[in-house]
Amino acid sequence: MNERTHWRKIVESDYLAGADLDDGQGNHPAIVVTIANAKQEMVMDPGTKKQESCLILKFQEAKYKPMICNATNAKAISKATGSEYIQDWAGKKITIGTERVKAFGELWDALRVRPITPKPAADAPVQSAPVCADCKQEIQAHEGASGAAIAAATQKKYNRPLCMDCAAKAKQAAEEQANAN
């Protein structure tokens, strides 16, 4: 069967939609994505041309557009990530599929986050969370930066991976040493 193009892929949108998961044969396979950050942004409603505040998810995988996250999907992400706080979602993987829903008198393929943590592929290397060299605690995501990104940045700056608290202490110690000289 020849691959076909869903009309929603032609009528461009800045945000991920159910049609973006269409494989050209009417199927909507689920995708696994890594949340880069989640934050509140103003979005223009194309129907009313008014700005509205929305929760927007951006993904580390560049091929996927950002996603407007409704309450149903936010609850599912909370379950999948183990946290109700959007700052904790950075670096977490989620599975997004579609579900037929009735809206505005019609059936649509709505995006739905599965409320389970995706299982890594059998051949995927096991990745452990980075650990702070000073306090030995797991380096947590902070303000949209993943723990791995923070570890890499602090490794470059302080020659060791540090959590945000220990990085602040290292910065203060470096400033005190510079002032003493």
Give the pLDDT confidence of 61-98 residue by residue, as tens digits. Answer: 989 999 999 999 999 999 999 999 999 999 999 999 99
Q: Considering the entire predicted model, what is its pTM?
A: 0.61
Q: Which helix (H) or strand (E) is 34 found in, with range?
A: strand 31-44
Query: In 3D, which of 148, 121, 118, 109 has the Cα closest to residue 17?
Result: 109
Give the pLDDT confidence of 21-67 residue by residue, as tens digits: 877 777 788 999 999 999 999 998 877 889 999 999 999 998 999 99
Q: What is the pLDDT of residue 56?
A: 97
Q: In angstroms, rounded to a whole number, what is the distance separating the alpha carbons of residues 108 and 114?
A: 18
Give the pLDDT confidence of 98-138 residue by residue, as tens digits: 999 888 888 888 999 998 887 766 655 555 678 888 988 88
Is residue 162 within 8 Å of 139, Cβ to Cβ? yes
